[in-house]
Amino acid sequence: MHTRTLGQGLEVSAIGLGCMGMSQGYGPNPGSRDEMIGVIRAAVDRQITFFDTAEVYGPYVNEELVGEALQPVRDEVVIATKFGWNIRDGKSVGLNSRPEQIRRVAEASLRRLRTDTIDLFYQHRVDPDVPIEDVAGAVGELIREGMVRHFGLSEPSAATIRTAHAVFPVTAVQSEYSLWTRDPEAEVLPTLAELGIGFVPFSPLGKGFFTGTVDASAPFSDGDVRGTIPRFEAENRAANTALVDHVKQLADSRGVTSAQIALAWLLAQQRWIVPIPGTRRTERLDENAGAARAALSADDVADLDALAARLGVHGARYNEQHMAYVGR
């Protein structure tokens, strides 16, 4: 696994591991907690060094899982976590990025992660009630105190990125980005290129769609977030299968998997892009890590872009309620 550099010189593996799905989001976990610890440690064995979690995943239990799994190799890895929600009775009940809340979250996350420093601390969603200048200043203070090393933003607008970066340097921006979610390309990616900020795409495999394991019509289980997303409604899934089928044809011709093509496409966009696919299975770790070796030519990338543009994508990537949190 080769490495890539985000903003402010933060070096990480070219492909990271999104850990949310080990605790929530995709229905019942087929593995035990000990098995998930084993998956995280297996990722380290495969030279994956970049791990993504958040206080709200669970809530809290995902940070505890990641902290226990990585404690023996803490000096060898980069851990990213997030602040920005009010959590009451085990549920998020709106945003809260007030400076005093940011500090409280940092202190609690440090305990759960079994570490004395958070490598990358993202604002999970932009809080319209708190000026981004205050957020950047609060995280900057934590960095000066040594509690945090780097400042990040998740799903912000280009204007918010610029304003925050002027107060305290932003290391990375995290947003959904993949062959079928191209929203960051218009404004966010050019802004990051200009300012020297890294980009971390989550859901780089289309929440499992590009793995070929999502049936076009089968219902999702209870607790699977895809059951609330318009893009995964049965009619839209059936229409979107055309893109997946074409990606599979290219993958088959190269002797790789559809997931590896989707990740390789992301890696080909910029050298400061580091996708964080999630998985609960060790065999998927091997597949995802192999994408770093499945290089695409400029013609391959252009053909995939043209294909995605021609076929289009049916359905929004979030429901209306969640879309209100995006791009502020």
CB atoms within 10 A of CB 3: 13
- pLDDT score, position 308: 94
- pLDDT score, position 30: 87
Contacts of 63 (CB under 8 A, 6+ apart): 53, 54, 55, 57, 81, 109, 112, 113
Q: How do the pLDDT tens digits run along the chain, 328 residues long? A: 899 999 999 999 999 999 999 999 999 898 999 999 999 999 999 999 999 999 999 999 999 999 999 999 999 999 999 999 999 999 999 999 999 999 999 999 999 999 999 999 999 999 999 999 999 999 999 999 999 999 999 999 999 999 999 999 999 999 999 999 999 999 999 999 999 999 999 999 999 999 988 887 888 999 999 999 999 999 999 999 999 999 999 999 999 999 999 999 999 999 999 999 999 999 999 999 999 888 899 999 999 999 999 999 999 999 999 999 999 9
Instruction: Classify domain 3-208+270-294 at the CATH topology level.
Output: TIM Barrel (3.20.20)
CA distance 184 to 202: 12
State phi, psi for 133 to the nearest 5 degrees: -60, -40
Amino acid of residue 14: A
- pLDDT score, position 292: 85
**Is 318 considered catalytic here?**
no
CA distance 271 to 91: 37
- pLDDT score, position 21: 96
Sorted by where each begins, the domain ranges of the chain are 3-208+270-294
Catalytic option among 26, 57, 122, 177 = 57
| DSSP secondary structure of 111-154 | HHHTSS-EEEEEESS--TTS-HHHHHHHHHHHHHHTSEEEEEEE
